[in-house]
Amino acid sequence: MIEAPDLSYAALAPLLFVLGAACVGVLVEAFVPRDARQPVQVALALVGTVGALVTTLLLSGTHETTAGGALAVDGPALFLQATIAGLGALSILLFAERGLDPARSAFVASAAVPAGSPRDRELLTATRVQTEVYPLASFAIGGMMLFVAANDLLVMFVALEVLSLPLYLICGLARRRRLLSQEAAVKYFLLGAFASAFFLYGLALVYGATGSIRLRDIREAGLDGGGDTLLVLGLGLLIVGLLFKASVAPFHTWTPDVYQGAPTPVTAFMAACTKVAAFGAILRLLYVAFGTAEWTWRPLVYAVAIVSMVVGAVLGLTQTDLKRMLAYSSVAHAGFLLTGVLGLGAGGEGSGLAGTMIYLLVYGLTTIGVFAVLTLVRDGDGEASHLSQWAGLAARSPLTAAVMTLFLLALAGIPLTAGFTGKFAVFRAAIEQGAWPLVVVALLASAVAAFFYLRVIVLMYFSEPVADGPTVGVPGVPTTVVLAITATATVALGVLPGAVLDLAGQAARFVG
């Protein structure tokens, strides 16, 4: 006989908010007339995400497990849930932009119509929108928030699927260049399924070795120096599954193709929120379940961090498409984040957790900002993401160029931007744990990566504008709000990071 576990509804409120909004969204699709769906869905998704954000903030200070120990409601979970909810809300705003595309949305009118068919061409200029993206995104956000709170490998796996499946779908919903978008979705799905299989197999091995799927039980069953092959293999496969989601090299190969093919607001969403969720899970898995056996995974993370930083930075150098370039940048940033993961410290006292959380927040904000700018610059065929099209942009649109410059400088980690605060936090954590050679590599990789960020700035400011260059659209209210918030935060977190650093420092304690 199975007993129903006790649920603390208050502690689950953020999840209930966003997943509830997603469920209601499905009903809206069924019952609300088509013309009214877009505003209703946007409002609903915003209520869900902002509600989740507010409730996580109200819950701050909670330190407990619920649902029979399957879910942790602790500082890191709440901090990362708030980050995901906030970044999710900004992404929803980008989804809702109606002013930039001539057809009033970045999403396809009807996803089921084959690309290139006569019906598809008919619908190209129609202002109809596939409004399912909002509930889908809400489900994905809900899954991510569950992912970072999962205190149980099975819940973690379920959350992984809940966040992944909607993402696969919305990647294929671009209005322009539909085939590219659909190809990206299929690739993401196939490789994601492959990675999920790794994760699931790892889960099975760990269960076989320890007889439990609870993170705490796994720690107590523990690696007591004897070298339990089954458990170690399980750990390896779990990590592979998570590194895939975090687009860490060598599990990053999907990233450039998917980032390029997906609709840009979706790319922003994936790049920011998935990264937060994946690293939340990595941190919880490594710190809670395997924190006492740091010696097993430390060399691995060390090596993977170096590979990821170098691959991301070096491959980014020769990219000619901005979205692909940012994809490799995301791979390099995953490597920088792993340097923070190494800052666990004896007894978990290191500043690695706080540093990584800060990095995730600033990286998410900057990334959403930079992709939001990308949606503004367009030619007849959608977004003008080829580098050469950005030449001389500053002469035509100084404000856009200035905002883009700010975000690129932040991604490069230049002081007085949020990016510097994040990099400083993770590098300090790594150095405190004696990983200075890794930090040296990270700094060199940052220098290499700075080249391709600065190249865009140089191109915008010091090149002659191209003759039939792209137009810079006037953003509507949603995108303007997103740009204002992300740009302000990028500057504020760079100049006065104290408050958020303190917050992350206080939140950096896992339950269990």
Q: What does the binding site for another protein look like in residue numbers (CB under 8 A)?
A: 186-187, 190-191, 194-195, 198, 223, 227-229, 232-233, 235-237, 239-240, 244, 250-251, 253-254, 256-257, 295-297, 299-300, 303-304, 311, 314-318, 448, 451
Whole-angstrom CA distances from 111 to 35, 47, 116, 299, 351 are: 17, 26, 12, 45, 46
Closest approach of Cβ 195 to another protein, in Å?
7
Tell me the three state secondary structure of residue 159. Answer: helix
Q: 331 near 255, Cβ under 8 Å?
A: yes
- Smallest gap from residue 252 Cβ to another protein (A): 9
Determine the residue type at 439: V
Cβ 83 to another protein, closest distance in Å?
Answer: 27
How far is 230 from 168, CA to CA, in rounded Å?
Answer: 32
Q: Residue 312 in contact with residue 330, Cβ under 8 Å? A: yes
Closest CB to another protein among 212 and 296? 296
CB of 457 to another protein, least distance (A): 17
Per-residue tokens: 504? 């992350």
Rank residues 217 and 257 by Cβ distance to another protein and give the closer one: 257
Q: Smaller CB distance to another protein: residue 60 or 229?
A: 229
C-alpha to C-alpha distances, 172 to 28, 63, 134, 185, nearest whole angstrom: 22, 39, 14, 5
User: Whose Cβ is closer to another protein: residue 208's or residue 380's?
Assistant: 208
CB 455 → another protein: shortest distance, Å?
Answer: 12
Would you say 54 or 180 has its CB closer to another protein? 180
CA distance 402 to 408: 10
Q: Smallest distance from the beta carbon of 199 to another protein, in angstroms?
A: 11
Rounded distance between C-alpha atoms, residue 345 and residue 432, angstroms: 8
Q: Is 79 or 157 the residue whose CB approaches another protein more closely?
A: 157
Q: How would DSSP label each residue in 227-265?
A: --HHHHHHHHHHHHHHHHHTT-TTS-THHHHHHHHS-HH
Give the residue with the Cβ less far from another protein, 13 or 223: 223
Q: Phi first, then psi: give them for residue 174, nearest 5 degrees.
A: -65, 145
Query: Least distance in Å: CB of 115 to another protein?
Result: 18
Structure tokens at 370: 């930079």
State in angstroms the smallest separation of the CB of 230 from another protein.
11
For residue 499, give the 3-state DSSP assignment: helix
Contact criterion met (CB below 8 Å) for 64 and 73: yes
Residue whose CB is less far from another protein, 201 or 461: 201
Peptide bond into 14 cis (omega under 30): no
Nearer to another protein, 311 or 414 (CB): 311
Of 133 and 248, nearer to another protein (C-beta) is 248
Q: Tell me the C-alpha to C-alpha distance, in Å, between residue 451 and each of 75, 318, 431.
A: 37, 11, 25
Instruction: Provide, rounded to whole angstroms, the least separation between the CB of residue 380 and another protein.
Output: 25
SS3 319: coil
Gap between the Cα atoms of 414 and 313, Å rounded = 16
Write down the least CB distance from residue 102 to another protein, Å.
30
Contact of 476 with 99, CB cutoff 8 Å: yes
Q: Which two tokens stand for residue 472?
A: 């810079």
